[in-house]
């Protein structure tokens, strides 16, 4: 018997991945850029045990058994890791041994808080440890086949997922832009508006957008390439004002495409929109962009902010959204920092 336990963090995209050019291999239509959070805050923890006495592969998510052999994404990750182990000549444990996977999230699953990213990154990283495979760009192509955004969680700091051009997907890899040490005072505050499961999952939502949105191809071809370059320059220069504007515009464009999808994918709610207005009012009052919002496929707000501006932000949030009985439930701020 052999066992490993690993943790993997959540990443939150600044330039969003939305749309696949290959559904099976999970190849995106555009590059994306994200920041990875620290593992002691929002993370997935996975224990994998391999044994010659196990009869079949099994998996439990937050204590509940989930299908393994029927889940094509999990199977693909396992097969790909086996392939890498054969290529690397690693014989740490026999590939014929069955595995039991136990995974936990310390945050709501599928509530638009990047749970699949951390979950699949953790699964693939744990498998790599189990079979003795190094973590490198090639391993990100395996995590990508679990859930696209998962490939970015294998690295810390700011990470770019390159869409790649090859049909095989070999060049659709994640690479670190800079480590978190490069911008150590960058923080994220999550305002939990609603932690229920989202209406339309990302996989289905983006599939529908590719089929029906007339704006999505323009975004992929014309907007994102330029935005990725501008964002990376802003990161390299520690230019928060530009960083914030690009991040907010990209979040808005992603939700515009979600709304241009037919039937539309409505992820933000009234509270989300009031947070958007609050951030713009705050930035205007401060004379430059000190906060950036971004929303994934759900109503929860992720606010990027430099450490020195957190007290001002918290003060303003408490004023704008008084912590009375009504709002306490849906505006729980989680201050987070970034990971190497
Ligand atoms: C809005 O990675 O969850 O969070 O590849 O189908 O599993 P699949 O989708 P997923 O989509 C994430 C979408 C997003 C934007 C992002 O993280 O870049």
* pLDDT over 50 (residue 142): yes
Q: Are 275 and 301 in contact (CB under 8 A)?
A: yes
Taking the domains of the chain in order of start, what are their residue ranges?
A: 2-180, 187-332
- Reported as a single tens digit per residue, the pLDDT across 221-280 is 999 999 999 999 999 999 999 999 999 999 999 999 999 999 999 999 999 999 999 999
| Residues 42-85: tens digit of each pLDDT | 899 999 999 999 999 999 999 999 999 999 999 999 999 999 99
**Global pTM?**
0.93
Q: Whose CA is nearest to atom 7 of ligand 1?
A: 147
**Are the CB atoms for 296 and 13 separated by under 8 Å?**
yes
pLDDT of res. 116: 84
Q: Which of 76, 149, 198, 257 to mutate to test the pocket of ligand 1 (most atoms within 8 A of CB)?
A: 149
- Can you state the angle between helices 240-260 and 224-236, rounded to 10 degrees? 160
Position 310 confidence tier, pLDDT thresholds 50, 70, 90: very high
CA distance readout (Å), 256 to 28, 174, 267, 292: 18, 26, 11, 18
How far apart, in whole angstroms, are the C-alpha atoms of residue 298 and residue 246? 20
Which of 202, 216, 254, 272 best tests ligand 1's pocket when mutated (most atoms within 8 Å of CB)?
202
Distance 104 CA to ligand 1 centre (A): 19
CA 214 to the chain's CA centroid: 25
Percentage of residues in the chain with pLDDT exceeding 90?
Answer: 84
pLDDT band at 333 (very low <50, low <70, confident <90, very high): very low
Q: Give the full edge-to-edge strand order of the sheet including 11-15.
A: 11-15, 32-36, 158-161, 174-178
List residues near ligand 1 (CB under 6 A).
Answer: 13, 16-17, 26, 32, 116-117, 147-149, 202-203, 296-297
Lookup result for tokens 């190094």: 134
Whether pLDDT at 336 is above 70: no
Q: Which fold has domain 2-180?
A: Ribosomal Protein S5; domain 2 (3.30.230)
Q: Which residues contact 77 (CB under 8 A, 6 or more apart)?
A: 120, 123, 124, 127, 142, 143, 145, 146
Exposed/middle/buried for 99, CB within 10 Å: 0-12, 13-18, 19+? buried
From the CA of 149, give the closest atom in ligand 1.
2
Model confidence at 86: pLDDT above 90: yes
- Mention the CATH class of domain 187-332: alpha beta
């Amino acid at each position: 018997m052999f066992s490993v336990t690993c943790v993997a963090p959540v990443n939150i995209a600044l330039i969003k991945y939305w749309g696949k050019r290959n559904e099976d291999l999970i190849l995106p239509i555009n590059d994306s850029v994200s920041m990875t959070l620290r593992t002691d805050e929002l993370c997935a923890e996975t224990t994998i045990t391999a044994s010659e006495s196990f009869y079949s592969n099994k998996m439990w998510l937050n204590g509940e058994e989930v299908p393994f052999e029927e889940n094509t994404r999990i199977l693909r990750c396992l097969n790909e890791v086996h392939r890498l182990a054969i290529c690397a000549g690693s014989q740490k444990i026999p590939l014929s041994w069955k595995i039991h996977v136990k995974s936990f999230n310390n945050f709501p699953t599928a509530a638009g808080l990047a749970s699949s990213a951390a979950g699949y990154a953790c699964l693939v990283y744990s498998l790599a440890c189990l079979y003795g495979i190094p973590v490198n760009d090639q391993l990100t192509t395996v995590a990508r086949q679990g859930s696209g955004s998962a490939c970015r969680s294998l690295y810390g700091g700011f990470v770019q997922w390159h869409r790649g051009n090859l049909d095989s997907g070999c060049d659709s890899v994640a690479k670190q832009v800079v480590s978190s040490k490069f911008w150590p005072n960058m923080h994220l505050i999550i305002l939990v508006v609603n932690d229920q499961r989202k209406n339309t999952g990302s996989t289905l939502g983006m599939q529908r957008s590719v089929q029906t949105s007339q704006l999505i191809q323009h975004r992929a071809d014309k907007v994102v390439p330029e935005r990725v370059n501008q964002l990376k320059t802003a990161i390299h220069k520690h230019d928060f004002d530009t960083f914030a504007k690009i991040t907010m515009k990209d979040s808005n464009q992603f939700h515009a495409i979600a709304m241009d999808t037919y039937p539309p994918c409505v992820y933000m709610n009234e509270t989300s929109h009031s947070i958007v207005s609050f951030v713009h009012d705050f930035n205007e009052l401060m004379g430059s962009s000190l906060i950036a919002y971004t929303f994934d496929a759900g109503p929860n707000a992720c606010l990027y902010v430099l450490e020195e501006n957190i007290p001002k932000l918290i003060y303003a949030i408490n004023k704008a959204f008084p912590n009375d009985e009504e709002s306490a439930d849906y505006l729980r701020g989680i201050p987070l920092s970034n990971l190497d």
